[in-house]
Structure 1
Amino acid sequence: MAHVYVSAVIDAPIERVWAIARDFNGHAAWHPFIAESHVEDGFAPDTVGCVRNFVLGNGGHLRERLLALSDVDHSFTYCILESPMPISDYNATFRLTSITEGGGTFVEWQARFDVAPEDEARIKEQVGRATFAEGIVALEAYVATT
């Protein structure tokens, strides 16, 4: 099983970052790879079990289910139901922690998934660097403008 872990610091209070990040369907507003997104069947984007259905800028299509959301822990966990990537059993967690000195926010985004050995390095780079790390940078920029 492959594991990807990315962490960073966003220079904003946790309440501001979480207000944006907790919206499971809000990534289209801040993530540079998301072209469009909607939650299926009219569910609210913070309803555990809801499915977000989205298209990437390159035309790729994904569906992900929200498995857990905690306003206390400032975290959510989700799984991929459909993806153009050659992966299976994908589960990811996005978590924020308040930095007590300075008022910033520590961000952790990690995933575990099965992938064929010949695809592992490429997919880990795609998920870790291109999706998680670039997403955190974009989230910080978005938080700064709201």
Structure 2
Amino acid sequence: MVHIVESTILDAPVEAVWAVLRDFNGFDQWHPAIADSRIDRGYTSDKIGCVRRLHLIDGSELREQLLTLSDADMAFSYCLMETPVPLLNYVAHVRLAPVTDGDRTFWHWQCRFDTPPGRETELRDMVANNIYRAGFDAVREHMGLPVSREGGNS
């Protein structure tokens, strides 16, 4: 099983970052890999169990289901239901926390998934770089923040 943990610091208040990330149907507004997003069955994007259908810029499609959402904890979890990439049993968790040294946000994004034998490193790197780290920089750009990894990815 592959386990990825990435984190960063954003120079923005945690409430502002949560407003962007909380919208389970809004990732197409900021993530460079996503062309468009919609929630199936007319559910709202904050309904536990809702399924988002993401069309990627390469023309492929995937479906993800919202598993948990907590405004109090500024956290949510989701799983992949259908994907063109073999990320099997993929479950991800996103959590935000205020950084008290300045009006900043700590963003923690992690996942676990299985892969076909021999593809662990390739798929770990793809998720860490093309989804998580690209997402960190894309949210910075979306919010008008400097695009920098100096806050640290770990």
TM-score by length of 1: 0.96
Structure 1 residue aligned with 2:47 = 47
Structure 2 unaligned blocks of 5 or more: 146-154
Deviations 1:26-53 (A, max 9, x none): 0000001100110000000011000000
C-alpha distance in 1 between matches for 2:104 and 2:117: 38
Deviations 1:56-75 (A, max 9, x none): 11112100000000001111
Aligned residue pair count = 145
Q: What displacement does 1:143 show?
A: 1.9
**Given residue 97 of structure 1, which amino acid in structure 2 is its aligned partner?**
A
Structure 1 residue aligned with 2:102 = 102
1:58 aligns with 2:83: no
Q: What displacement does 1:20 show?
A: 1.0
Structure 1 unaligned blocks of 5 or more: none
- Secondary structure of the residue aligned to 1:109 is strand
Structure 1 residue aligned with 2:24 = 24
- Secondary structure of the residue aligned to 2:143 is helix
- Secondary structure of the residue aligned to 1:117 is coil
Structure 2 residue aligned with 1:7 = 7
- Secondary structure of the residue aligned to 1:62 is strand
Q: What displacement does 1:87 show?
A: 2.2
Which structure has more helix as a fraction of its residues?
1
- Secondary structure of the residue aligned to 2:72 is coil
1:71 aligns with 2:80: no
**Given residue 117 of structure 1, which amino acid in structure 2 is its aligned partner?**
P
C-alpha distance in 2 between matches for 1:119 and 1:59: 22
Q: What displacement does 1:117 show?
A: 3.1
1:122 aligns with 2:122: yes
Q: What displacement does 1:141 show?
A: 1.6
Deviations 1:90-135 (A, max 9, x none): 1001111100011100111111001123111111111111101110
**What's the % identity of the aligned pairs?**
43
Structure 2 residue aligned with 1:135 = 135
**Given residue 34 of structure 1, which amino acid in structure 2 is its aligned partner?**
I
C-alpha distance in 1 between matches for 2:84 and 2:119: 13
TM-score by length of 2: 0.91
Q: What displacement does 1:82 show?
A: 0.2
C-alpha distance in 2 between matches for 1:57 and 1:125: 19
